[in-house]
Amino acid sequence: MNSRPAATIWSLLRLVTAVAIVAAVGVQLAVSVTRTVEAGGDVARVVANYFSFFTILSNLIAAAVLAWAAVATLMDPARARASRGLSTALACATTYMAITGIVYNALLRGITLPQGSEPVPWSNEIMHTIAPIVLLLDLLVGPRRRALPWRTVGVILSFPLFWIAYTLIRGPLVSNAVTGEPFWYPYPFLNANLPGGWPLVIAYIVGIAIVFVAVGAFCVWVTGRRARDHSPDAAPITESRVA
């Protein structure tokens, strides 16, 4: 996957995936806004809530990073492979999308949503299943990336931790535009108002944090393992190479 033709083909796949993600996010937002307008609801609140979902944010991060990786690889594959910033961004995006796919398909797929908030089926599948699979394949068989130090796992964790803090602080301050409840949480396992309360919420957060560490560490390990491949065009990348 590191020859010039193969890298070009993979870059096009990255671009197509990025476009599909943006389309999926945009269509779901348009549908949500349309439903809100028809119901005479608060559009600004619905939009703010929409961009508070980890799924939406992780998909937008993934689209941006995939586009960056595609353009960088098309312009100069060797420079893209040597870029620490790009390798770190790809590790972050891959972790976030893998968690998005795992959490949705393990915990949320069978949950019935309030009427008026149902997802667009094809958009939902792109964001929760197809895009995570593409990011995982990109890690495993896509163009090689620069090896990363283990401290990169801390960088990967920084955004999810910020998002959890933001969500728990914001949740009690925002009402649900669909159900009218005086609080709003993007996912039920973060809602301390449900049975189980804070102990269950904390248990979920700890469990998901452990999964983030595991998946992030896996991404760092695979990236390093592939970077140290002994094939002729995969000489180890040293600190003197382009950052």
pLDDT in tens, 170-196: 999 998 877 778 899 988 889 988 888
Q: Which residue type does 37 have? A: V
**Which pLDDT score is estimated for 117?**
57
Largest CA distance in the chain: 63
**Which pLDDT score is estimated for 86?**
97
String of DSSP letters for 34-75: HHHHHTT--HHHHHHHHTT-HHHHHHHHHHHHHHHHHHHHHH
Within 8 A by CB and 6+ apart from 216, the residues are 91, 95, 152, 153, 156, 157
**Which pLDDT score is estimated for 242?**
36
Give the position of tokens 């190479």. Answer: 241
Tokens representing residue 143 in the block? 């163009």
Give the position of tokens 């396992």. Answer: 189
Spatial contact of 85 and 214, defined as CB atoms under 8 Å apart: no
Radius of gyration of the chain (CA): 19
From residue 239, alpha-carbon distances to 8, 104, 146, 230 in Å are 26, 39, 10, 18
- Does the predicted model carry a pTM greater than 0.85? yes
Alpha carbons 139 and 87: distance in angstroms, whole number:
10
Tokens representing residue 176 in the block? 């649900």
Tokens representing residue 197 in the block? 């309360």
**Which pLDDT score is estimated for 231?**
47
For the chain, residues with pLDDT lower than 70 are 1-2, 110-118, 230-243
